[in-house]
Chains A and B, each alone.
Chain A
Amino acid sequence: MDKYEKRILIYTGILLVIFLAAVMRAVSRGISDLPACIPYDPSYLEPRVTALDENTYQVFVVAQMWSFQPSEIFIPVGAEVDFYLTTKDVVHGFHIADKNVNMMAVYGGINKTTVKFDKPGVYPIICHEYCGSGHQHMKAEVIVNYPNK
Chain B
Amino acid sequence: MTENEKFIPRGAIAFFILLALLSAAIWFGIYFIMLSRS
**Cα–Cα, bound, A22→B31 (Å):** 9
- Could you tell me if B13 and A4 are in contact, using CB atoms closer than 8 angstroms? yes
Size of the A side of the interface (Cβ < 8 Å), in residues, is 18
Interface residues of B, Cβ cutoff 8 Å to A: 9, 12-13, 16, 20, 23-24, 27-28, 31, 34-35, 37-38
Known: A15-B24, A22-B31. A98 touches B37 (CB 8 A): yes
- Could you tell me if A19 and B38 are in contact, using CB atoms closer than 8 angstroms? no
Neighbouring A residues of B16 by C-beta, 8 Å: 8, 11
**A53-90: contact bitstring with B at CB < 8 Å (1 yes, 0 no)?**
00000000000000000000000000000000000000
Neighbouring A residues of B34 by C-beta, 8 Å: 32, 100
A interface, over-half SS: helix
B interface, over-half SS: helix
**Cα–Cα, bound, A22→B9 (Å):** 32
Closest to B16 in A: A8
Neighbouring A residues of B20 by C-beta, 8 Å: 11-12, 15
Neighbouring A residues of B13 by C-beta, 8 Å: 4
- Could you tell me if A32 and B38 are in contact, using CB atoms closer than 8 angstroms? yes
Neighbouring B residues of A115 by C-beta, 8 Å: 38
**Cα–Cα, bound, A8→B30 (Å):** 24
Known: A4-B12, A8-B16, A12-B20. A31 touches B38 (CB 8 A): yes
Chain A min CB distance to B31 (Å): 6
**A13-35: contact bitstring with B at CB < 8 Å (1 yes, 0 no)?**
00100110011001000011100
**Cα–Cα, bound, A100→B20 (Å):** 26
